[in-house]
Amino acid sequence: MDLDRESLGLGVKPALLLVDMIEGFTNPECPLGCDCPEVVAANADVLEAFRAAKMPIFYTTVVFHGDEQARVFRERVPALNVLTPQSNWVKVDERLAMREGEVLVEKQWASAFRGTDIDEQLRAQGVDSLVVTGLTTSGCVRATVVDGLQYDYRVVVAKEAVGDRNAEAHEANLFDMHAKYADVWPVADVLADIRMRKSL
């Protein structure tokens, strides 16, 4: 049975958070990657809308600078060890290349909030809500969404702009996030909301 919950939507000042849209996850040649051009294209659409509305944009990447960082996580998923500072895999997918004023947050764990200063950076810009996109739905996206709620941000997940290697895990986690932690909106609804704000 579903829990009763309120649809909160976005607050007064939303930010876009692209979770790990990096070469290591969008390029199937990487052991961590998958072929997901439709997810990249949906991210590009959301990114364009936020840029047009001059709203804050944050990206995350995963970079390990030493053996001591996220040791158990890397023991559990050895493929993570390719994400070194010198690697191409940690770079933002060039189809979503960053522009001046946009922020890249390095992380070592699943959540964008764990061990980073992203909360302080969001608060400094007056952000009160997040549109979350990226990879993967069952991993870093979900962890970031849960922590976003726990840091008292309203969170909207842009449905077609998140993806997973496993289709069943993708659907199950979208269902679960919508049930407890966030509103899951079609990208079309996210675009309509952001464009409406731009016109005000």
- The set of catalytic residues is 140
Q: Taking Cα atoms as reference points, which of 26, 47, 28 lies closest to residue 97?
A: 47
Contacts of residue 122, Cβ cutoff 8 Å, sequence gap at least 6: 15, 56, 58, 130, 153
Q: Own/partner pairs for 191-194, CB < 8 Å, 24+ apart? A: 191/45, 191/46, 191/49, 193/9, 193/10, 194/14, 194/46, 194/49, 194/50, 194/52, 194/53, 194/55, 194/131
User: What whole-number distance in Å separates Cα of residue 67 and Cα of residue 171?
Assistant: 34
33: three-class secondary structure by DSSP: coil
Within 10 Å of residue 104's Cβ, how many Cβ atoms? Answer: 15
- List strand residue ranges (DSSP E) for the chain, in order: 14-19, 57-62, 103-107, 129-135, 154-163, 183-185
Q: Which residues contact 49 (CB under 8 A, 6 or more apart)?
A: 190, 191, 194, 195, 198
